[in-house]
């Protein structure tokens, strides 16, 4: 069932609802007016009866009280009828709301079924399309491979002689480069051996002047008398109040770590003055 049919049927069921609601509300208003009229009458009768009660006999008094009691009962009946009409009105509206909920649930289930069937049809069509596409592509690829095989065969025959010449020339050039590299490697190795020998004679340390040209991180702390960053072997001053604390071996004329306590030149002078 389409949405238009659901809406049409639901609107048909709502055709008489406004009239029924209007009738119930009118009856409730009439009952309310009657009940209020009776209550006003009861108030007037009570105001007249109270001053005359001492003068009345028992029969008259009982008759007046029964009349007032009957009016109260009648007002109560009007109130009960009004409550029943209110309950009927609520149930009437609730019935249409429940029908609307059931129609919406049925409509949603039908839409979901249609969507699932459409997806299944699309999936079946998609499963069939790749098979046909692969068959066509396979035929095209076979034709292309046949053409490419014939053309590459011709190109290989034509370019075989040129490739042989290029390989021969490349081998001769590689031999020349290898001879040059060998000569350069021997020269570099001899220089490295000389430099290593010089370093061993000094104790395996580089002079601070060798690292002065190195780039320094501005955030890295500096030490020693040269105010440079830490490198190589360093020694710490045994004075706990030393402002510098750490020194490079070369800057304080040290080659090995001395035995016992060691103080920097500044701390040594301060100790002598004391």
Q: Annotated binding site for Zn(2+), which residues? A: 224, 226, 237, 242, 248, 251, 264, 267
Cβ–Cβ under 8 Å, residues 250 and 232? yes
26-36 in b/e burial notation, b at 16+ Cβ within 10 A?
A: ebbeebeebbe
Structure tokens at 234: 């360093």
Q: How many CB atoms lie within 10 A of CB 43?
A: 11
Structure tokens at 246: 């750490």
Q: CA-to-CA distance for 157 and 147, rounded, in angstroms?
A: 16
- DSSP characters for 231-266? -S-EEE-S-TT-SS-EEETGGGT-SSPPSS----HH
Structure tokens at 79: 């109130």
Among residues 30, 128, 123, 134, which one has the least CA distance to residue 81? Answer: 30
Binding annotation: 224, 226, 237, 242, 248, 251, 264, 267
End-to-end CA distance of the chain: 111
């Amino acid at each position: 069932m389409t949405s238009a049919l659901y809406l049409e049927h639901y609107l048909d069921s709502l055709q008489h609802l406004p009239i029924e609601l209007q009738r119930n509300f009118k009856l409730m208003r009439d009952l309310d007016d009657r009940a209020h009229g009776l209550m006003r009458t009861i108030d007037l009768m009570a105001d007249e009866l109270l001053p005359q009660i001492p003068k009345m006999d028992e029969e008259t008094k009982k008759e007046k009280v029964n009349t007032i009691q009957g009016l109260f009962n009648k007002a109560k009946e009007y109130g009960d009828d009004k409550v029943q009409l209110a309950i009927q009105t609520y149930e009437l509206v609730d019935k249409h709301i429940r029908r609307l909920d059931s129609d919406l649930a049925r409509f949603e289930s039908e839409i979901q079924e249609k969507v699932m069937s459409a997806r299944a049809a699309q999936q079946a069509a998609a499963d069939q399309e790749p098979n046909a596409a692969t068959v066509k592509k396979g035929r095209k690829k076979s034709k292309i491979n046949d053409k490419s095989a014939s053309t590459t065969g011709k190109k290989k025959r034509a370019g075989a002689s040129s490739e042989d010449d290029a390989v021969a020339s490349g081998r001769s050039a590689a031999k020349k480069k290898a001879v040059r590299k060998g000569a350069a490697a021997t020269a570099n190795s001899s220089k490295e051996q000389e430099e290593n020998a010089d370093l061993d004679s000094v104790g395996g340390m580089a002079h601070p002047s060798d690292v002065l040209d190195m780039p320094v991180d501005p955030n890295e702390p500096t030490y020693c008398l040269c105010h440079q960053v830490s490198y190589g072997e360093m020694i710490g001053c045994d004075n706990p109040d030393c402002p510098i604390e750490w020194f490079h071996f070369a800057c304080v004329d040290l080659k090995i770590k001395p035995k016992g306590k060691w103080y920097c030149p500044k701390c040594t002078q301060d100790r002598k003055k004391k």
